[in-house]
Amino acid sequence: MIIAETIMEVREQVRAWRAEGLTVGLVPTMGALHEGHASLVTAAASQCDRVVASVFVNPTQFGPGEDLESYPRDFEHDCQVLEAKGCDMVFHPEVAEMYPEGFATYVNLESEMTKQLCGKSRPSHFRGVCTVVSKLFNIVTPDRAYFGQKDAQQLAVIRQMVRDMSFGVEIVGCPIVREEDGLARSSRNTYLSAGERSAARVLYRSITAAREMIAASGVEVPADEVLSLMRRVVSEEPEANIDYIEAVDGVSLMPVERVKKGTLIALAVYIGKTRLIDNFTV
């Protein structure tokens, strides 16, 4: 597996692959890789001739007081995971390589969709996401790019950006990978103490309860009823503090009054000091 630290190295290697007529898949990550990330690489390797993964903790998507400095980093482990799953090149740049002195250009969706869900408490987050993903698309020029559905808002925002900016990249959303007890895999799970890890199961319990309510109704359900049930379930856990639990359109991310096919139900919950997200689509 090639380890590239500069934009030039990546471009030269991709150019060589293109000369051979090979297709390229991209898996953008911030490292601290787990089975969720591994599933993205597996999907990319099954659909593309060559796979590039980025490992870059992107500072522009962290707001003041967020966990940029403490975000878990283990590049040696990341490389082991990537190589085992069929990655051909990892792009691991320094911050100065991606954001050189004088950097002043950002990509921002002028849309209400970035103001919903996580955007309410993280107002600059998606500007950072769109900027770094745009740069990666320009650097790697992939045929396909792979993102996890756990970050459902990010996936929807990137799809909108790709349409708006006419990127020639197919965006592939991959299913959430969960622990045996249902907790969605996340790099931030490493922050949890043993007691908090047990408490974190409440997110999936609330999702299970909501799914059962929706399935039992057989018809469209008022969103307030589903959300109230989920809030009750989460509130029973003393360690949990709800940031949001909302029902939105799966494409536009705007709030809906009734839950039906295509509705995204998403939640963000603090377990202790750790903010966890999860979701499901009806």
**Catalytic residue positions?**
37
Sign of CA dihedral 235, 197, 215, 258: positive
Half-sphere exposure of 99 (CA within 13 A, CB side): 14
For residue 40, give the nearest of 77, 7, 9, 78 by alpha carbon.
78
How many residues does the structure list for the chain?
A: 282
Question: For residue 45, which of 63, 24, 18 has the smallest C-alpha distance?
Answer: 24
CA dihedral of 202, 204, 205, 207, whole degrees rounded to 10: 130
Distances (CA, A) of 239 to 205, 231, 277, 279: 14, 14, 15, 20
**What distance in Å separates the CA atoms of residue 36 and residue 187, rounded to the nearest whole number?**
9
DSSP for 39-80, please give it: HHHHHHHHH-SEEEEEE---GGGPPTTSSTTTS---HHHHHH
Are the C-beta atoms of 4 and 91 separated by less than 8 Å? Answer: yes
Q: Are 53 and 82 in contact (CB under 8 A)?
A: yes
Residues contacting residue 21 through CB under 8 Å, at least 6 positions apart: none
